[in-house]
Every structure is written in structure tokens, then in C-alpha cells.
Amino acid sequence: MALVAGVVLASPVLFWQFWRFVAPGLYRHEKKVILPFVVFSTLFFLGGAAFGYSVVFPPAFRFLVGYSTDYLTPMPAVNEYFSLAIRLLIAFGVVFELPILMVFLAKIGLVDSAFLRRNRKYAVLLNFVIAAILTPTPDVVNQLLMAVPLVVLYEISVVAVYFFGRRRFTEFTGAGTSVADSAAADVDDGRQ
């Protein structure tokens, strides 16, 4: 429990360190997103953990305790309770990072909003498969409680990539200049 509490409390530092690891390989204009990346990554992780604990954990725990009969009395141990809570906290914290990951992939040019819109049906299917794998209980309600936020986060990702993703021609230096010309200008400035 102390380890998970430490990870949650240290998440701003962890995201900052991750970004500092990636930053040396980026151009100057790409490094301007360090502070927003750290802030939004932390907020999304903590929001996902809070959603998992407050919305998903109670029905999951009720489902597991619901197997009681006259001859079978559920007696969950503290270890099992914390194990379930920790899995949900970490799973939802990581899953809620989807918009940040998509914006990052758009910034480096791997995806764009048209690609995400075109592959929406595959993303919905993949979201339900991920939800089936990550939920600790095999019931449909808990899987839906993870899959529906994943679909919503995917749609948020599409909008975020549209607004914050890499622009093809005019973002860096002005109208009529391509991304390759902008990269060449960065190399001329002494960046490699």
C-alpha cells in the first residue's frame, strides 16, 4: 500500500523524469510542451485513479462479496481488498493517460485526427478487449465501467489531436513552409 501511495503522490515527479528522458531527442519547438505534459499527465492519472476507486471499485467489490450463500460466507482478507484496490487504481490511472499518449504521438507525427477518426471502429473493439483483460472481476458491469470511459477518452483524444497535434504546413514557420523545411531550419540553428 505504501508503494502505491508513493507512486500516486510522486506521479508529477515520475512524469517529469519521463519527459526529461525523452526531451533531449526532440527539437526546440517540441520541448515547449514539457510543463503542460507534466501537469496534464498528473491530472489524468489522478483522475483515473479516483474514477477507478470511487466508481468502479464499489460494484467490483460487491460482485466479489455477492457469492455468499447459507454455507458460504465471504471473508475477504485485507490483503485481497488492497490487491483489488491497487489493481483498479493503477489500471485506471494508466488508462486515463490515453489522450496524453495520443497527443504525444500526434506531435511526433505518427498519428493525426483523420487517422484516429478513420480507425474508430477498431479502437472501440480494442477498448473492449483491453477492458476485458484489465478488469479484475469477470462480470459485464465492471468491464463496461472500464470500456465506456476508454471509448470516451478515445473521442477526447481525437479532439485533442485535432487541436494540439502537429500541423502539416503552417504551424512552425508560416504559410507555405513544410515540416521538412522547418526541421532543416532547426538543424541550421545548431540542432541535430
Model pLDDT, residue 125:
93
**Does the pLDDT value for residue 138 go beyond 90?**
no
Model pLDDT, residue 154:
92
Q: pLDDT per residue over 44-86, tens digit each?
A: 988 988 888 888 878 777 777 776 677 767 677 777 778 777 8
**Does the pLDDT value for residue 190 go beyond 50?**
no
107, 165 in Cβ contact below 8 A? yes
**Does the pLDDT value for residue 170 go beyond 50?**
no
Question: Which H/E stretch holds residue 61?
Answer: helix 57-65
**Does the pLDDT value for residue 18 go beyond 90?**
no
Query: Residues 98, 103, 105, 110: what is their CA dihedral angle, to the nearest 10 degrees?
Result: 120
Q: pLDDT per residue over 110-125, tens digit each?
A: 888 889 899 999 999 9
pTM of structure: 0.68
d(CA 80, CA 84): 6
d(CA 155, CA 151): 6
d(CA 183, CA 36): 23
User: Pick the residue with more confidence: 19 or 30?
Assistant: 19
Model pLDDT, residue 136:
67
Instruction: Give 192's pLDDT tier (boundaries 50, 70, 90).
Output: very low
Instruction: List the chain domain ranges.
Output: 2-188
**Does the pLDDT value for residue 176 go beyond 90?**
no
Question: What's the mean pLDDT when you consider all of the chain?
Answer: 77
Query: Residues 38, 44, 49, 53: what is their CA dihedral angle, to the nearest 10 degrees?
Result: 150
